[in-house]
């Protein structure tokens, strides 16, 4: 069976099919073993032989050899082998990362491993109305957990009925809903007036600990529990503030799509998504891998697994840190390409990359209750 894309669920399905054939088992009965990306490469490792071998009482190294042999027959897998200790190593066809970009344009579906989450998105707690910073922090983390853990459904698109005013709206700006009516009689209200709700929610969700120690930091000048009097870098509109950096990356990716579309002229308007889809089916990576592009594609691949783990473990900081990493990978990739001329297939691939990044960042920000600006 041919792989449709290099998305995590497609690679996992291919590995499970191969393992099931070797074991004579039902793929759905095999233990979970999502393929993990090797650092700085578009190659992957799976522990399916280790886990299935232990379950079936078989030698894991022999099982890994058999699964690798089966995987090499899959259309879309260019190499598969058994690694040390029964680890399975596999490399998909680089062209399959084009369809992955197409999948990632709908960030909500992509982060849910290809399944559309059931609407509506759970509403958000009014943090400014709570009496203490500790209660606001707990509420922000619970909001993110509810949104991450909502069940999957089969419904089509449409705005989430539970979303608050201004949240997820196309063309969202940087002005936050509460800026014109700050509440200054509560600690959370004063903090939001000082740093904005986006930075407050990011700060509250960024650390692993549920009960931060006094003075605990999650990064340089990033208090786990900022206050209006001591907000640290959360008050800055610079890269020192992770909330700003991630939202800026989303705005840049959306704006850059408009800029390039304008440069290409109105003659290409009729192509729409179909033109980008056609280009996305064959993303030709350079013969000598571009580490910036590899890093960005790898960061996109990691999204569904990270979102699933964050939901399963109830740890919103995992999603927050993932979004920061994706934003950084995007800025590294986009930096030398701003203003660089491109045409034809290269230009279409650049648009696909920007659309994928904006789709995933926008959906991830929405899950933690933060708006995603679309203009710089």
Where does 8-92 sit in CATH, by number? 3.30.1360.70
Q: How confident is the model at residue 153 (pLDDT cuts 50, 70, 90)?
A: low
What number is the average pLDDT over the span 211-238? 96
Contacts of 314 (CB under 8 A, 6+ apart): 145, 149
Please check the confidence at residue 161 and state whether its pLDDT lies above 90.
Answer: no
Inter-residue long-range contacts of 190-193, CB under 8 Å, 24+ positions, other chains counted: 190/227, 190/228, 191/133, 191/136, 191/226, 191/227, 191/228, 191/231, 192/127, 192/128, 193/228
Query: CA 240 to CA 153: how far, in whole Å?
Result: 38
If phi > 0 it is left, if psi is from -120 to 50 it is alpha, else beta; for residue 164 that is: beta
Q: Where are the domains of the chain?
A: 8-92, 97-118+241-367, 127-162+177-235
> What is the domain class of 97-118+241-367 according to CATH?
mainly alpha
Q: Give the pLDDT score at 41.
A: 84
Q: Give the pLDDT score at 40.
A: 77
Query: CA 87 to CA 246: how far, in whole Å?
Result: 35
Write down the mean pLDDT value for the chain: 87
Query: CA 57 to CA 64: how far, in whole Å?
Result: 13
Q: Give the pLDDT score at 354.
A: 96
Please check the confidence at residue 108 and state whether its pLDDT lies above 60.
Answer: yes
Q: Give the pLDDT score at 85.
A: 86
Is pTM, for the whole model, over 0.85?
yes
Q: Give the pLDDT score at 343.
A: 56
Q: Give the pLDDT score at 169.
A: 44
What number is the average pLDDT over the span 92-101? 93
Q: How confident is the model at residue 344 (pLDDT cuts 50, 70, 90)?
A: low
Q: How confident is the model at residue 156 (pLDDT cuts 50, 70, 90)?
A: very low
Q: What's the order of all strands across the beta sheet hosting 77-82?
A: 36-37, 44-46, 88-92, 77-82
Q: How confident is the model at residue 283 (pLDDT cuts 50, 70, 90)?
A: low
**DSSP string over 261-290:** HHHH-GGGGGGHHHHHHHHHT-----SS--
What number is the average pLDDT over the span 150-155? 65
Query: CA 71 to CA 90: how far, in whole Å?
Result: 8
Give the model confidence (pLDDT) of 3-32 as tens digits: 999 999 999 999 999 999 999 999 999 999
Q: How many CB atoms lie within 10 A of CB 113?
A: 17
Q: Give the pLDDT score at 285.
A: 60
Q: Give the pLDDT score at 157.
A: 37
Please check the confidence at residue 155 and state whether its pLDDT lies above 50.
Answer: no
Backbone angles phi, psi at 62, to 5 degrees: -65, -40
Please check the confidence at residue 293 and state whether its pLDDT lies above 60.
Answer: yes
């Amino acid at each position: 069976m041919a792989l449709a894309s290099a998305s995590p669920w497609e690679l996992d399905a291919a590995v499970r099919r191969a393992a099931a054939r070797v074991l004579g088992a039902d793929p759905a009965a095999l233990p979970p073993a999502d393929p993990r990306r090797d650092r700085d490469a578009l190659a992957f490792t799976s522990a399916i032989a280790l886990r299935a071998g232990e379950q079936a009482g078989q030698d894991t190294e022999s099982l890994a050899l058999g699964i690798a042999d089966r995987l090499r027959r899959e259309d879309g897998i260019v190499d598969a082998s058994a690694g040390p200790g029964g680890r399975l190593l596999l490399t998909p066809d680089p062209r399959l990362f084009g369809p992955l970009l197409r999948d990632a344009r709908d960030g909500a579906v992509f982060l849910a491993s290809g399944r559309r989450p059931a609407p509506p998105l759970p509403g958000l707690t009014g943090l400014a109305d709570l009496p203490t910073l500790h209660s606001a922090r707990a509420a922000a983390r619970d909001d993110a957990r509810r949104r991450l853990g909502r069940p999957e459904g089969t419904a089509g698109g449409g705005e989430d009925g539970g979303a608050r005013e201004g949240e997820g709206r196309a063309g969202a700006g940087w002005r936050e809903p509460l800026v014109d009516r700050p509440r200054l009689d509560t600690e959370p209200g004063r903090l939001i007036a000082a740093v904005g709700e986006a930075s407050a929610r990011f700060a509250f969700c960024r650390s692993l600990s549920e009960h931060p120690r006094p003075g605990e930091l999650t990064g340089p000048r990033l208090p786990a529990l900022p206050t209006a009097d001591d907000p640290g870098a959360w008050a800055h509109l610079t890269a020192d503030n992770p909330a700003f950096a991630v939202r800026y990356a989303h705005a840049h990716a959306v704006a850059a799509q408009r800029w390039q579309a304008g440069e290409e002229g109105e003659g290409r308007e009729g192509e729409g998504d179909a033109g980008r889809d056609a280009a996305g089916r064959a993303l030709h990576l350079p013969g000598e891998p571009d580490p910036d592009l590899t890093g960005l594609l790898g960061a996109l691949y990691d999204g569904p697994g990270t979102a699933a783990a964050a939901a399963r473990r109830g740890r919103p900081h995992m999603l927050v840190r993932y979004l920061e990493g994706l934003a950084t990978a995007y800025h590294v990739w986009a930096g030398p390409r701003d203003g660089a001329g491109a045409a034809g297939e290269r230009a279409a691939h650049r648009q696909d990359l920007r659309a994928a990044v904006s789709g995933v960042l926008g959906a991830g920000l929405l899950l933690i209750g933060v708006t995603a600006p679309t203009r710089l």
